[in-house]
Amino acid sequence: MADPRPSMRIGPFDPNARPKIVGARVQRLEDPRLLAGAGRYTADIKLPNMAHVAFLRSDRAHARIARIDRAAARTLPGVVGVYVAADLYEFVTPPRAASKTAGFVSTPVLPLADGKVRHVGEPVVAVVANSRHIAEDAAALIDLVLEPLPAAVDPEAAAQDGAPLLHEAEGTNVLVDRTLGRGDIDAAFASAAATVGGRYRMTRKSPSPIEARACVADWDGGRRALTLHSATQVPGIIRDTICEVFNLPGNRVRVLAPDVGGAFGSKGCLYPDEMVACALSIMLGRPIKWVSDRLEDLVGTYQAFDEHVEAHLALDGEGRILGVRAEAIGDVGAYSIYPWTAAMEPVQVISFLPGPYRMPAYHARTRAVATPKTPMGAYRGVGRPMAAFVMERLIDLGARKLGIDPLEMRRRNLVQPHEFPYKTGSGIVWNRAGFTESLEAAVKHIGYDALRAAQEKAREQGRMVGIGLACYAELTGIGSRIAVAPGAPINTGIESATIRIDATGSVVAAFGIASHGQGLETTLAQVVAEELGCRIEDVEVLHGDSTLVAHGTGTYASRSTILAGGAATLAARAVRKNVLHVAAQLMEVAEADLEMADGRVFVAGTDKALPLREVARTFYQDVSRLPKEVREDYELEATRSFDPYFGTTAAATHIAVVEVDPVTWGVTVLRYVVAEDCGRIINPMIVEGQVHGGVAQGVGVALLEEVVHDADGQILSASLVDYLLPTAVEIPAMDVLHVESENPDNLTGFRGMGEGGTIGAPAAIANAVADALAPLDVDVTTLPLTPERIFRLVEAAKAARRTT
């Protein structure tokens, strides 16, 4: 069988000079335990004397808490206590997500609603009992009276002067209002040969990892120390925050993320329930466990991608971009998330909207508007899926208007290889990446011209087949020079690694990142084994524990291979140097003559060798063989940090082929090709898995997933029967092509790629559906493209034709 996933390289990576471990399809080290049902997820944790908490949540969007009668709940046998916000303030100081962004309006993160509720699903009362069953029974006995308050559910209404306020003390619902751009945008439009535009909408999504969120707080009254086990991506951030919220020193707080069952951004911030569990554990002196059920997850876990964008594109007569104008509103829900703030998603939309294209003039405004809905947080791609959807629709609209093929439009406008580094209209700098190379690789692989010919034939037969292209670039592995979240007071630009060879000769590599499905236990072990010169099976990667490194913020924003992989490279090189120094003394040879590979130190070209195990054992145990000075001055251990300073550019082209059913108006994805450039690849198998998963989530965004609210802010999609996740039937087989471009600006040559699939897929599928429906004069502006939505678009187009 021909390999459906061929590789192409534009970098200098000589396969012969290529190391054996980095770049290999290594089977994952984490797999055996997960396959045998022996993984340990937060919900699996049982501690002695543990109690369980269940929440009574608001069933109103915006309401005054008029009464909470706890008497009946308290008397149920097995109930430990029933708590409201005021009961917790002795222990908890609610944090506020802050930002240096001008005019930023801050909101708190409350452990429980206080005085009023601000969204359906907001926790109001915490019930602690000896079992979860009893806690839920008791929650059902609480008499909670909520008096509805006026609410502006629509973000454009909420942004108006005089709209009902969610946070009265702040005097506005507009939490962020920011503009950016460059060039003379009015002149660009005035001189344009053609302009196109539209109002685009990506409806609200729920990240929905299959493991819902969970935590277990365990206060040790004797040591006055708190351990929080949490299904989180960011144990270091949670540790730092818990210290402030509970006024505890860092050496008394440990945050552990055990096996985590997917996250996709949704487990990347502090949640109210984590504060509640900690407060109750301190108050009661017992471990407190909370496990979200799916219904809680669909109303309580932070949601995503809820934006409205009006955008216009100005083109010259040859289809070259003169300028783009965009106005975005992010419906950020009831509170800023901590620590990233409500600015993150809406600002990223306009920061990344110019995409991989040359654009002399750009002007964009974005507002983050508070509404009585679940807060909007991070979800795979953060802002960029919306940005790519808008930009790629504009490119296709422009192509159509000027009669240019969509492929040719992209060829004319992509930043060309000689133009790097290229500063976009929003100020982001793209370093050399395979923009054009990924486009050409995808086009060649899918056989674009033949595909267009086949589409013509299908159209003649009355079939609605469409081809959609999407190109994007993303900034990954962001260093200290750039903020992951605009203005957030947190250094996301650095990660550390500690590598230690112990007295048995085995290698431990400890990190501040936290793997939750990405396979970092394997890829980081590959990097360590490669750089140190040991066998991959000798490396134990430790992560997901705030005590492992002094500072680390976790895994998010396609950063971990770059930052942790960079730190691992530096630390491994430092340890290797010391191993060789020690071995040179033991072997009585010059250090320069020594090499290390496969866990052996050897003199090149001879059979003189010493196992690493033996070097370590002698170094630590055999005091007679090494002078005291060597044993004191050299360590078989090193901690190093890596800051990529700016970040690395990753890019891809997606091509989707779809068919729309003329009876059901359902969309079938017939083919899907991704050509991606994530630089030097550590493990192609894992990269392909990440692309597949990202595209699958993008298919959900494009065709299925939609959090629906009614006019009162009630959530109508609070089960997986109503909120549709893609299954194996809706997701197509995919071909993934690797364009490994060199990146001399970065230590390792790695580029981030965890999020990319979700950035490209909604745009590619939207363009493909629009292309399929083009003969019907239908424009695609809102995702997901459900059968009902397509039916209504087609009917509206028919009605419009009848009236003209």
Partner 1 sequence: MNRTVTIGLTVNGNPVERAVEPRLHLADFLREELHLTGTHIGCEHGVCGACTVLMNGDSVRACLTFAVQADGAEITTVEGLGRVDDLSPLQQAFREHHALQCGFCTPGMLMTALDMIRKQIPPTQAAVRDALSGNLCRCTGYQFIVDAVVAVLAANVDTKEGDG
Residue ranges in contact with partner 1 by CB under 8 A: 27-28, 30-41, 43-44, 46, 133, 137, 208-212, 259-262, 264, 293-295, 516-519, 685-686, 688-689, 691-697, 719-721, 725, 727-729, 731, 733-734, 757
**Sign of the C-alpha dihedral, residues 784, 787, 788, 789?**
positive
Q: Smallest distance from the beta carbon of 730 to partner 1, in angstroms?
A: 9
> How many Å apart are CA 577 and CA 593, to the nearest integer?
12
Q: Smallest distance from the beta carbon of 208 to partner 1, in angstroms?
A: 6
Closest to partner 1 by CB, 36 vs 604, is 36
Residues 6+ apart with CB under 8 A from 72: 141, 142, 143
Angle between helices 406-413 and 384-402 in degrees, nearest 10: 110
Q: Smallest distance from the beta carbon of 672 to partner 1, in angstroms?
A: 10
Task: Please provide the distance, in angstroms rounded to a whole number, between the alpha carbons at the two ends of the chain.
Answer: 54
Closest to partner 1 by CB, 496 vs 683, is 683
Closest to partner 1 by CB, 727 vs 803, is 727
Closest to partner 1 by CB, 466 vs 694, is 694
Q: Smallest distance from the beta carbon of 4 to partner 1, in angstroms?
A: 10
Q: Smallest distance from the beta carbon of 172 to partner 1, in angstroms?
A: 36
Q: Smallest distance from the beta carbon of 387 to partner 1, in angstroms?
A: 22
Q: Smallest distance from the beta carbon of 291 to partner 1, in angstroms?
A: 8
Q: Smallest distance from the beta carbon of 739 to partner 1, in angstroms?
A: 20
Q: Are 82 and 140 in contact (CB under 8 A)?
A: no
Closest to partner 1 by CB, 250 vs 262, is 262
Q: Are 192 and 261 in contact (CB under 8 A)?
A: no
Closest to partner 1 by CB, 44 vs 405, is 44
Closest to partner 1 by CB, 248 vs 295, is 295
Burial class (CB in 10 A: 0-12, 13-18, 19+), 566: buried
> How many Å apart are CA 198 and CA 652, to the nearest integer?
25
Q: What string of DSSP letters covers 479-515?
A: -TTS-SSTT-SS--S-EEEEEEE-TTS-EEEEES---
> How many Å apart are CA 45 and CA 256, to the nearest integer?
12
Rg, the chain, Cα only = 28
Beta strands 667-677 and 782-783: pairing type?
unpaired
Closest to partner 1 by CB, 37 vs 249, is 37
Closest to partner 1 by CB, 211 vs 530, is 211
Q: Smallest distance from the beta carbon of 218 to partner 1, in angstroms?
A: 18
Q: Smallest distance from the beta carbon of 378 to partner 1, in angstroms?
A: 15
Closest to partner 1 by CB, 518 vs 746, is 518
Q: Are 243 and 255 in contact (CB under 8 A)?
A: no
Q: Of 574, 554, 561, which is closest to residue 527 (Cα–Cα)?
A: 561
> How many Å apart are CA 518 and CA 529, to the nearest integer?
18
Whole-number Cα distances in Å, 418 to 383, 414, 434, 435, 694:
28, 11, 11, 11, 30
Q: Smallest distance from the beta carbon of 72 to partner 1, in angstroms?
A: 14
Closest to partner 1 by CB, 292 vs 782, is 292
Helices (H) and strands (E) in the chain, counts: 21, 30
Q: Smallest distance from the beta carbon of 246 to partner 1, in angstroms?
A: 29
| Six token digits for residue 377 | 């947080």
What SS3 string covers 130-147?
A: CCHHHHHHHHCCCEEEEE
> How many Å apart are CA 794 and CA 784, to the nearest integer?
15
Closest to partner 1 by CB, 80 vs 695, is 695
Q: Smallest distance from the beta carbon of 220 to partner 1, in angstroms?
A: 24
Q: Smallest distance from the beta carbon of 798 to partner 1, in angstroms?
A: 33
Q: What string of DSSP letters covers 702-739?
A: III----B-TTS-BS--STTTS----TTTSPP-EEEEE
Closest to partner 1 by CB, 557 vs 761, is 761
Q: Are 127 and 54 in contact (CB under 8 A)?
A: yes
Whole-number Cα distances in Å, 331 to 79, 268, 326, 405, 730:
39, 19, 16, 35, 28
Torsion of CA 466, 444, 475, 422, to 10 degrees: -110
Closest to partner 1 by CB, 88 vs 216, is 216
Q: Smallest distance from the beta carbon of 440 to partner 1, in angstroms?
A: 24
Burial class (CB in 10 A: 0-12, 13-18, 19+), 38: exposed
Whole-number Cα distances in Å, 521 to 6, 253, 529, 536, 561:
26, 24, 12, 10, 11
Tokens 């964009």 sit on residue:
364
Q: Smallest distance from the beta carbon of 228 to partner 1, in angstroms?
A: 20
Angle between helices 384-402 and 756-773 in degrees, nearest 10: 30
SS3 at position 437: helix
Report CA 793 to chain centroid distance, whole Å. Answer: 32
Closest to partner 1 by CB, 37 vs 48, is 37
Q: Smallest distance from the beta carbon of 214 to partner 1, in angstroms?
A: 10
Q: Smallest distance from the beta carbon of 363 to partner 1, in angstroms?
A: 37
Tokens 């196109």 sit on residue:
196
| Six token digits for residue 800 | 């419009």
Whole-number Cα distances in Å, 179 to 227, 347, 363, 426, 752:
42, 9, 7, 10, 28
Closest to partner 1 by CB, 727 vs 804, is 727
Closest to partner 1 by CB, 289 vs 410, is 289
Per DSSP, what are the bridge partners of residue 289? Answer: 52, 216
Closest to partner 1 by CB, 283 vs 295, is 295
